[in-house]
Amino acid sequence: MQLKAQKSIRYVTPVTSNLEDIRHTFPSDNLPAGKSKAPYCRQLLYKNAICQKNGRWITSLMSIPELNDPLALFHNWLHEAEEKEVGDPTAACLATASIDAIPSARMVLLKNADSSGFVFYTNLESRKGDDLSNNPQAALCFHWESLHRQVRIEGSVALVPGGEADQYFSTRPKAVQIGAWASTQSKPLKNRSHLDQRVVEYTAKFGKSTVPRPTHWSGYRVAPERIEFWQQEDFRLHDRVLYVRDGSIWHHKSLFP
C-alpha cells in the first residue's frame, strides 16, 4: 500500500518573534539587487510561526513524514518519481571501495527493494564486482530532480541466491542476455569491432535456444544499515531524516541541513 506523504508537525521553542532579530540570517549579498532584507525575513518568520500554543510554535518545516518503516517511505517516494521523473527513477549512484580503500562510483539500476535489501545486477568480474568481493560494503544514492529529493542508503552487500538471479535474467530481452556473455566488463577493449564480433559469436552460439545466465553475472543485495531522506527546502534549509537499523527496529532522527 502506498502511503501519502504528510507534513510532519514539530513543536519548537521560539527564540524570538521580532522580525529585526532574524534579519541577520540573510546577508545582503544573497538578495537580488535593490531588494530589502525584510520581505525575506518575514517569509521565513511566517513559514516557521504558523501559530503559538502553550509558549511553543507549531511549525511545518519538516516535509518528510517520519514513519516507523523507511522502506514504506522509500517506495512512496519511488512511486512519485516514477510518475514525474524524466529519467529512469530506478537509477542510483553505487559507491564502493577497494580493499585498499580506493573509492569508485557508477550508476546502476534498482531491480528490487524490500525488507531484506536493495538489489541490482552486474558482471561479477567488473571493478565493482572486484570491490565488493574484497570489501562487501556499499552506498547507494538516488536523486530525483523533479521532486527535489534524495535518498542515501548504506549497508553490507551479498550476492543474491542463484535461483533469484536466474529468474531475473530470464526476463531480460535476448539481445541483452547475449550482451552479458559478450562483454567482459571493465576489461580493456581493442576496438568496437571486437565487441561486435563477440556479439555475433554468442548470437550464433545460442541461436533460437534459451540463453542461460553466465556464471560471472548475478545480483547483489545491499542490506541497509542507514537510510537518509533529503528534501530540498527554501534558503538551503533542507529537511533531512536519518534512519539507523538496530536489529529489526529502525530508529530515526532529524539532521541539520
Query: Hey, which residues are catalytic here?
Result: 236
Alpha-carbon distance 257 to 237, whole Å? 6
| Rg of the chain on CA atoms, in Å | 24
Distance set, CA 251 to CA 70, 75, 244, 247 (Å)? 10, 18, 5, 10
Alpha-carbon distance 233 to 244, whole Å? 23
Residues in the chain: 257
Alpha-carbon distance 231 to 257, whole Å? 10
- Block residue for cell numbers 508537525: 9
Alpha-carbon distance 242 to 153, whole Å? 10
**Are 91 and 107 within 8 A, CB to CB?**
yes
Alpha-carbon distance 69 to 57, whole Å? 28
